[in-house]
């Protein structure tokens, strides 16, 4: 068995595409399957989703009702302890330092520390929120889990 024999497709596995607009003999000539005239027959002519022939579409006629809490949710940028434990920093690890090391995005507004991983040495971490397991692991290692000023109770 040779390499070119392994890679080769079985006969009939690949089907050639239909070449439209190549004469009337193949059944896909002249109008090329687009029918006669009209918007769909023209180039670039496609009807937008929800278009109802110029009439006000259903999604605009129905009233918008109800309430959605999505715009009020608090979004956190999450960091696991295993990544923070790798940092060789004697100072307080805060959001600016995490951004500098590429652990969180530059546009992060709030940071939450999760407890995945082990902490060997005492570290001071300043964040907006800590999971209970993260806080427990940090304090067991002799470190401190500090909340930012806005989130202190």
Exposure string for 42-75, b = 16+ CB within 10 A, e = fewer: eeeeeeeeeeeeeeeeeeeeeeeeeeeeeeeeee
Q: Is the pLDDT of residue 74 over 70?
A: yes
| Domains detected in the chain | 73-151 (3.100.10.10)
Q: Is residue 45 scored above 70 in pLDDT? A: yes
Q: Is the pTM of this model over 0.85?
A: no
> In whole angstroms, what is the distance from residue 124 CA to residue 151 CA?
17
Tokens 């029918």 belong to which residue?
35
Report the C-alpha gap between 58 and 60 in whole angstroms: 5
Average pLDDT, the chain: 89
> Which strand (E) or helix (H) includes residue 145?
strand 144-147
Q: Which of 1-15, 22-36, 112-126, 135-149 has the lowest mean pLDDT?
A: 1-15
């Amino acid at each position: 068995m040779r390499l070119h024999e392994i890679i080769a497709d079985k006969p009939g596995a690949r089907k050639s595409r239909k070449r439209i607009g190549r004469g009337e003999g193949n059944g896909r000539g002249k109008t090329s399957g687009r029918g006669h005239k009209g918007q769909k027959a023209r180039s670039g002519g496609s009807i937008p989703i929800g278009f109802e022939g110029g009439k006000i579409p259903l999604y605009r006629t129905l009233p918008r009702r109800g309430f959605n809490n999505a715009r009020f949710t608090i979004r956190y940028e999450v960091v696991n302890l295993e990544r923070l434990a790798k940092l060789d920093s004697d100072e307080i690890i805060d959001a600016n330092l995490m951004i500098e090391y590429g652990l969180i995005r530059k546009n992060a507004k709030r940071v939450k520390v999760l407890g995945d991983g082990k902490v060997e040495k005492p570290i001071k971490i300043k964040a907006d929120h800590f999971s209970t397991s993260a806080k427990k692991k940090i304090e067991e290692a002799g470190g401190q889990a500090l909340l930012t000023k806005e989130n202190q109770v």
